[in-house]
Every structure is written in C-alpha cells, then in structure tokens.
Amino acid sequence: MTTLVVGANGNIGKIFCRLAAERKLPVRALLRNPEQQAYFDSIGVETALGDLEGAFEASMEDCDRVVFTAGSGGKTGGDKTLLVDLYGAIRVIEASEARGIEHIVMVSAMGVDDPLAGRPAMQHYFVAKKLADQRLRESSVAHTILRPGLLTDEPASGNVRTDLAAGSGHSISRENVALCILASLDHLQSRGQTIDLLDGDMPIATLFE
C-alpha cells in the first residue's frame, strides 16, 4: 500500500518519510519544486511534483492512503493559510473521495475546537484547520485526525499523552508526531478518531490499542 505524503518537505513530513523509508514502507512525497527531490532521493523515497495551489491529482495515482501534513508556515499571511491549510486540504479530501483512497491521516492542531480562544495572530490558522477537519469527518474516506500541541525539535521519546490535564507541558516533538502518524496507518482502530497529542508517558505503540 503506497501512502502519498502531502507536505512531505515540511518538518514533520521529512521526518515521517525518513521513518517510513527505514521501515521499508512505500511512500510517495508530493513536492512543489524539483530542487526538493535530492533529500528524498537520498533516503530512497519516491517523489512526485504537484502543488496544492495548482495541480496535484496525478501524484495520487496508485496510492491507497494519504498523509496530510501540509501547512503554509508561520512566515506567510492569511491568504496562504486559506489556500493551503483550508482549501488545499479540502481539495485533497475531495480527490481522495473521487479516487477511493482508503485512509487519510490529517495532521491538524490542538485548540481548533475554539479558534477564538487562541492568540489573535493564530485564530485564522485554527479556523482553517477546524473547517478542514470538519470536511474530512463529513467525507466518505476513513480518517484519523491528529492534533498536536506546540511543536518542538526534541528527539522522539516514543511516549505521548492525549489529555492536556493529565500532565504538565503543552508541547510535543515533531518526531513523536511522525511516529503517531505511522501508528495511525498501522492500526485500523485509529480510523474515525480525533486525538490530541502532547509529550507524555503513554507508549505510542499502545495509542490505538
């Protein structure tokens, strides 16, 4: 089963592709620019060129699953957030429905349930993620929605928690998020679930048991 990784050149996407390659899992990295291919070639990951603001559908050929971890990034404005985090996600969901994709793992964000409670500078981002998550839940595609807290570059601990009140700290390492994506793809029990993620004491291997 080949998994298309949308947002493969982002921080979480790169980590996920590396971990998948180490496990000999077939993945295809969706990239905007040919210049981005060298890294994926070096780790043995197939690539396809496409753009969430343009054409990307051909990259889905022969894929069974999709990981969506694309984001416009903190250096762009609200216009890119709408085009990538919201409309880009909706287009991927609609293309997945049309092509019979079996499973989408969506990397969303903690706090999207109440966007207006977030910092003003982040509210448009939370709105975009909330609406994209809602469209995915309404779709015909089996899905898992992962909602990490504040992202860090700490090494993976292999342990998380799913309840903010169950411990201290509001962050999670990107590598732990990538491991949770892998676990989501490995377990049928992940389908239909929306899960908040923070660093914690629960082994990721048991997240969906």
Query: pLDDT tier at 44 (50, 70, 90 boundaries)?
Result: very high
Q: Which spans in the chain are helix H?
A: 11-22, 37-42, 78-80, 89-99, 123-137, 174-186
Whether the predicted pLDDT of 134 surpasses 70 = yes
Closest-CA residue to 175 (of 1, 40, 17, 49) = 17
Mean pLDDT of 10-14: 97
Mean pLDDT of 177-191: 97
Mean pLDDT of 74-99: 91
Give residue 3's pLDDT. Answer: 98
> Crossing angle of helices 89-99/123-137, nearest 10°?
10
To the nearest whole number, what is the mean pLDDT of the chain?
95
Instruction: Give the C-alpha separation, 94 to 92, whole Å.
Output: 5
Whether the predicted pLDDT of 74 surpasses 80 = no
* Identity of the residue numbered 146: L
H-run or E-run covering 150:
strand 150-152
18 forms bridges with which residues in the sheet?
none
Q: What is the pLDDT of residues 94-116, one digit of tens each?
A: 999 999 999 999 999 999 999 99
The catalytic site residues sit at 125
Asked if residues 70 and 85 have their Cβ atoms less than 8 Å apart, the reply is yes
Give residue 46's pLDDT. Answer: 98
Is the domain spanning 3-206 CATH 3.40.190.10? The answer is no
Q: Is 142 exposed, middle or buried (0-12, 13-18, 19+ CB in 10 A)?
A: middle
Give residue 166's pLDDT. Answer: 84
Share of the chain above pLDDT 90, in %: 89
pTM over 0.85: yes
Give residue 73's pLDDT. Answer: 67
Give residue 174's pLDDT. Answer: 98
The residues spanned by each domain of the chain are 3-206
Instruction: Give the C-alpha separation, 145 to 109, whole Å.
Output: 9
Closest-CA residue to 72 (of 53, 59, 85) = 85
Mean pLDDT of 162-168: 87
Closest-CA residue to 138 (of 197, 71, 192, 95) = 192
